[in-house]
């Protein structure tokens, strides 16, 4: 059973958190070197807050369609001025509000848009706005999309599936000088002495590999983007707690499903209907032209 992590929080699996953190880490030098920054689809702000700390003293515009997420992000992201904006990123009026909020601050500007456009039924209006900001308002834009095509699993929260082919189509809509980079998965281990915390630097050899995500940057400072890795210690207690909580939630859902199935079967027994999910029920449904559900509803309403 897939576990979709569409909102990154403290309870998210550590490996996924590290992957999410890295995107904001490579954006951090651009953000801190700007006077204004907009995080489009900010979510809870957890990764951005970790990457920036208290190093940004400009205007931060945190935009998301979820009002609760915007409130959480405003509470933890540190900036000189923090403005929260609840916006549907496909509505022209909301995109105009987003433009106005960012341009209310001075330049230069940075806009981040990580793991957003795959959630939109149409991303072209948002992409047009980001390209406009880059071309006309000294804004450097960083956006990302997942490599869904490699896994060949349909994410129920994504409106579009992304892969190398879709990225090439997207590249055709971006400015000609756009920079595209691949985010790769890493694994590792470490050896330290017993006493106390120790700082150890790691050298990582990166070769061609299957990317987990594609990132694109365009605008005045896109050329400053640098190859970066994030190596973080895995908190095994935290990892175990996450796995156990996931298993507990799954068992609860399965028990709830079994309870509903038993309840439905008891109703079918009382109404002398074949039980759902059995060959007898399929034959019954075919013989009655699919009317058994309507028949069941009518019988229940009469009782």
Q: Which pLDDT score, from 0 to 100, does residue 4 have?
A: 43
> Across the strands, what pairs with 142?
112, 217
Residue linked to tokens 């156990």 = 244
Average confidence (pLDDT) over 199-217: 82
Is the pLDDT reported for residue 190 higher than 50?
yes
Calculate helix-pair angle for 292-302, 279-287, nearest 10 degrees.
90
How high is the mean pLDDT of the chain?
A: 83
Tell me how long the chain is.
303
The more confidently predicted of residues 47 and 132 is 132
Confidence band of 248 (pLDDT split at 50, 70, 90)? confident
Cβ atoms of residues 300 and 267 within 8 Å: yes
Q: Which residue has the higher pLDDT, 188 or 242?
A: 188
Listed in sequence order, the residues at least 6 apart from 113 whose beta carbon sits closer than 8 Å to its beta carbon are: 40, 41, 126, 130, 141, 142, 143, 144
Rounded to whole angstroms, the Cα distance separating 6 from 18 reads 14
Distance of alpha carbon 98 from alpha carbon 84, whole angstroms: 10
**Positive or negative, the Cα torsion across 232, 184, 156, 143?**
positive
pLDDT tops 80 at residue 123: yes
Nearest Cα neighbor of 242 from 16, 6, 1 is 16
> Does the pLDDT value for residue 3 go beyond 50?
no
Give the count of beta carbons closer than 10 Å to the beta carbon of residue 28.
Answer: 20
| Cβ partners under 8 Å of residue 219, min gap 6 | 133, 134, 138, 139, 140, 141, 175
**Over residues 171-188, mean pLDDT:** 88
Q: Of residues 38 and 201, which shows the higher confidence score?
A: 38
pLDDT at 9: 56
Structure tokens at 53: 């700390």
pLDDT at 218 over 90: yes
Q: Please say if the pLDDT value at position 278 is more than 70.
A: yes
pLDDT confidence band for 289 (50 / 70 / 90): low
- As a whole number, mean pLDDT of residues 46-62 equals 91
Contact 25, 4 (CB under 8 A): no
């Amino acid at each position: 059973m897939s576990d979709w992590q569409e909102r990154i929080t403290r309870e998210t699996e550590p490996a996924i958190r590290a992957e999410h953190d890295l995107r904001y880490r490579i954006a951090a030098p651009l953000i801190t070197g700007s006077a204004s920054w907009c995080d489009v689809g900010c979510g809870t702000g957890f990764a951005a807050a970790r990457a920036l700390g208290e190093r940004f003293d400009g205007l931060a515009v945190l935009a998301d369609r979820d009002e609760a997420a915007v409130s959480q992000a405003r509470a933890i992201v540190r900036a000189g001025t923090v403005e929260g904006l609840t916006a549907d990123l496909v509505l022209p009026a909301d995109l105009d509000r987003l433009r106005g909020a960012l341009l209310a601050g001075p330049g230069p500007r940075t806009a981040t848009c990580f793991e957003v456009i795959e959630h939109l039924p149409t991303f072209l209006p948002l992409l047009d706005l980001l390209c406009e900001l880059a071309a006309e308002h000294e804004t450097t834009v960083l956006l990302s999309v997942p490599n869904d095509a490699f896994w060949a699993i349909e994410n129920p929260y994504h409106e579009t599936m992304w892969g190398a082919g879709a990225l090439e189509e997207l590249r055709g809509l971006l400015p000609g000088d756009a920079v595209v980079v691949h985010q790769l998965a890493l694994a590792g281990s470490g050896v330290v002495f017993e006493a106390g915390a120790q700082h150890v630097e790691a050298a990582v050899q990166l070769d061609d590999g299957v990317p987990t995500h594609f990132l694109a940057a365009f605008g005045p400072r896109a050329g400053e983007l640098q190859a970066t890795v994030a190596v973080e210690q895995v908190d095994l207690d935290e990892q175990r707690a996450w796995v156990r909580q996931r298993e507990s939630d799954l068992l609860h859902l399965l028990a709830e499903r079994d309870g509903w199935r038993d309840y439905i079967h008891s109703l079918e027994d009382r109404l002398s209907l074949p039980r759902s999910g059995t060959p007898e029920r399929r034959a019954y449904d075919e013989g009655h032209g699919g009317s058994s559900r309507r028949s069941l509803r009518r019988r229940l309403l009469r009782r």
